[in-house]
Amino acid sequence: MSAFSVSFMGSDVVASCDASTTILDACISTGAPVPYNCRSGECGECRARLMSGSIEEIPGADPAIFNDVDRQQGDILTCMCFPRSNLELDVPLKSNKNVAAIETINTLVEGITWHGREILEVAVLPPSPISFQPGQYFDWTIRTNGVKRSFSAASAPDSEMLWFHIRLHPDGIASNFVSDVLRVGDFLEITGPFGHFKISDNAHRPAIFVAGGTGFAPIRSILDAAVSRKDTRPVRLFYGARTSDSLYCTDDADRWRSTLPDFKFFPALSDEPIETGVDAFRGNVTDLLDSELGSEVFGAEAYLCGPPPMIDAAIDVLLTKGIEKEDIFYDKFLPAKR
Ligand code: FES
């Protein structure tokens, strides 16, 4: 199949992309450091201005983040387009420092553990250590139908095994696969690492983490890596769940209390009755963030991961508290389309 070139204004970087590969996937696999997050038309991170060439767009982009107004001004979502000629794009390239090569590997399922009734932790053993940045994610190939689903690594890169957290949804493709099909001893094909959600090198700055649901997974990877490199920055972790059944990170929080020099944990439960006596704030995690954040905001960076409404609300709180927009990093966990 003939391949087209994808070049970038003001850069020597050139990617090669065949007609049946999305521009984004071709850029990622050839190491072009383009911005992206969801790879499915839902976050808008991969937006680029098409300076020359022609493309074919795959239907399915969320019209709230990309619509005809964007198309008319010449923008494209690189994750939703195939090339139909050589292309030149105008897009701010990211640093490709520490960018690991994308690999597809067969891993061995070593453990499947329930956390409450909704979250499963799956531990897999790769044939050799995988290079990735804490906070990145991998695609799973669901072997029953070939569908791909993305899950953040919940373990640090120096861990022998890769851990993933899967929230079960009724009739979810990955949910059914993990709960009904996948068993210890099976092989699981994964591809990655993907994504740009990772902690900065500014080791002297306080770090505020806000997680909802399994948005805890990449933060767990980041904080375990922080322990490994003896990070000394102040860390505040705000975690939101609906009930105590989904509050599955307390053991990790206890561990970080004794392994990180300045760590505080703030759990919030939105639907847990007061009468249960569980030691956690009752309400939304963003309300807790608003009430608890104090002087630690000075010079802080914030890392948010979870459902989009939680992230949008947390950004509003953090901006009100004086954290600069460019110091807020987030990874929106979007529900799979099917
Ligand atoms: S990466 Fe393309 S819209 Fe999210």
Instruction: Give the residue with greater pLDDT, 335 vs 275.
Output: 275
Measured distance CA(224)–CA(252) in Å, rounded: 9
Which amino acid appears at position 111 of this protein? G
Quick one: how many helices (H) and strands (E) in the chain? 7, 19
The rounded percent of the chain whose pLDDT value lies above 70 is: 97
The rounded percent of the chain whose pLDDT value lies above 90 is: 71
Measured distance CA(157)–CA(12) in Å, rounded: 31
Q: Where are the domains of the chain?
A: 3-90, 103-194, 207-332
How far apart are the CA of 249 and the centre of ligand 1, in A? 29
pLDDT digits (tens, 9 = 90+) for 49-79: 999 999 999 998 989 889 999 999 999 999 9
23, 25, 40, best to mutate for ligand 1 pocket (most atoms within 8 Å of CB): 40
Residue with tokens 């460019």: 326
Average pLDDT of the segment spanning 226-236: 92
Which of 183, 170, 180, 67 shows the shortest CA–CA distance to 124?
Answer: 183
Which of 308, 307, 331, 304 shows the shortest CA–CA distance to 319?
Answer: 304
47: how many CB neighbours lie within 10 A of its CB?
17
pLDDT digits (tens, 9 = 90+) for 174-214: 888 998 999 999 999 999 999 888 888 887 899 999 999 99
CA angle (310, 293, 269) in 5-degree steps:
45
Spatial contact of 41 and 66, defined as CB atoms under 8 Å apart: yes
DSSP SS3 for 72: helix
Q: What share of the chain is helix, strand, coil (3-state, %, to 5)?
A: 25, 30, 45
pLDDT at position 338 = 42
Return mean pLDDT, the chain.
91
pLDDT at position 32 = 87
Spatial contact of 303 and 332, defined as CB atoms under 8 Å apart: no
For residue 97, name the pLDDT band (cuts at 50, 70, 90): low
Fold held by 3-90: Ubiquitin-like (UB roll) (3.10.20)
How far apart are the CA of 192 and the centre of ligand 1, in A? 16
Average pLDDT of the segment spanning 145-154: 91
Average pLDDT of the segment spanning 76-96: 91
pLDDT digits (tens, 9 = 90+) for 232-290: 999 999 999 999 998 988 999 999 999 999 999 999 999 999 999 999 999 999 999 99
Q: Ligand 1 atom closest to Cα of 79? A: 2
Is domain 207-332 given the CATH code 1.10.260.40 in the classification?
no
Ligand 1 site residues (CB inside 6 A) read 36-39, 41-46, 77, 79
pLDDT at position 64 = 87
On whether ipTM exceeds 0.95, the answer is: yes
For residue 42, name the pLDDT band (cuts at 50, 70, 90): confident
Fold held by 103-194: Elongation Factor Tu (Ef-tu); domain 3 (2.40.30)
pLDDT at position 294 = 83
